Amino acid sequence: MNRTDLLAWLTCGNEDELEILWQRADQVRQRYVGSDVHLRGLIEISNICSRVCGYCGINAANTALERYRMQSDEILECAREAYGYGYGSIVIQAGEDPGITKEWMSSLIRNIKEETGLAITLSLGERSGDELHAWKEAGADRYLLRFETSNRRLYDLIHPSLPGIVSDRIELLRRLRDMGYEIGSGIMIGIPGQTYDDLADDIEMFRSLDLDMIGVGPYIPHQATPLGASGAVHTVAECHQVPNTEAMTYKVVALTRLVCPLANIPSTTALATLNTASGREKGLNRGANILMPNMTPRKYRALYEIYPAKVCIDETAAECRSCMSHRILSIGRSIGQGRGDSPNRTRVA
| pLDDT of 260 higher than 80 | yes
The residue type at 213:
M
Query: Is 331 among the domain residues?
Result: yes
| pLDDT of 19 higher than 90 | yes
CATH number at residue 89: 3.20.20.70
pLDDT in tens, 232-253: 566 788 899 999 999 999 999 9
How far, CA to CA in Å, does 98 sit from each of 47, 127, 180, 205, 272? 11, 9, 24, 29, 31
Percent of the chain with pLDDT over 70: 98
pLDDT in tens, 20-74: 999 999 999 999 999 999 999 999 999 999 999 999 999 999 999 999 999 999 9
d(CA 133, CA 80): 25
Work out the widest C-alpha separation in the chain, in whole angstroms. 54
Percent of the chain with pLDDT over 90: 90
Query: Is 218 among the domain residues?
Result: yes
pLDDT score for 234: 61
How far, CA to CA in Å, does 202 sit from each of 76, 197, 347? 36, 9, 23
Query: Is 213 among the domain residues?
Result: yes
Strands 213-218 and 290-291: unpaired
pLDDT score for 240: 94
pLDDT score for 337: 94
| pLDDT of 220 higher than 60 | yes
pLDDT in tens, 142-159: 999 999 999 999 999 999
Range of the domain at 200: 3-344
Within 210-316, residue ranges assigned H as helices are 226-230, 246-259, 269-274, 279-285, 298-301
d(CA 266, CA 244): 18
1 half-sphere exposure, CB direction, 13 A CA radius: 24
Query: Is 119 among the domain residues?
Result: yes
How far, CA to CA in Å, does 142 sit from each of 77, 176, 191? 21, 9, 27
pLDDT bucket at 348, cuts 50 / 70 / 90: low
How far, CA to CA in Å, does 311 sit from each of 51, 168, 178, 231, 319? 24, 31, 36, 24, 13
Mean residue pLDDT across the chain = 95
Q: What is the DSSP string of 5-25?
A: HHHHHHT---HHHHHHHHHHH
Query: Is 15 among the domain residues?
Result: yes
pLDDT score for 312: 85
User: What is the rounded average pLDDT of the residues 203-216?
Assistant: 98
pLDDT in tens, 96-116: 999 999 999 999 999 999 999
d(CA 199, CA 213): 18
Query: Is 349 among the domain residues?
Result: no
d(CA 88, CA 118): 5
d(CA 328, CA 11): 30
Number of domains in the chain: 1
Query: Is 300 among the domain residues?
Result: yes
Query: Is 183 among the domain residues?
Result: yes
pLDDT score for 323: 93
> How many residues does this entry show for the chain?
349
| pLDDT of 254 higher than 70 | yes
300 half-sphere exposure, CB direction, 13 A CA radius: 23
| pLDDT of 305 higher than 90 | yes
What residues contact 14, with CB distance under 8 A and at least 6 apart? none
- Tell me how crowded residue 331 is: count the other CB atoms within 10 A of its CB: 14
Q: Which of 123-127, 228-232, 311-315 has the lowest mean pLDDT?
A: 228-232
pLDDT score for 231: 60
pLDDT score for 121: 98
| pLDDT of 127 higher than 70 | yes
Nearest to 307 by CA among 58, 46, 48: 58
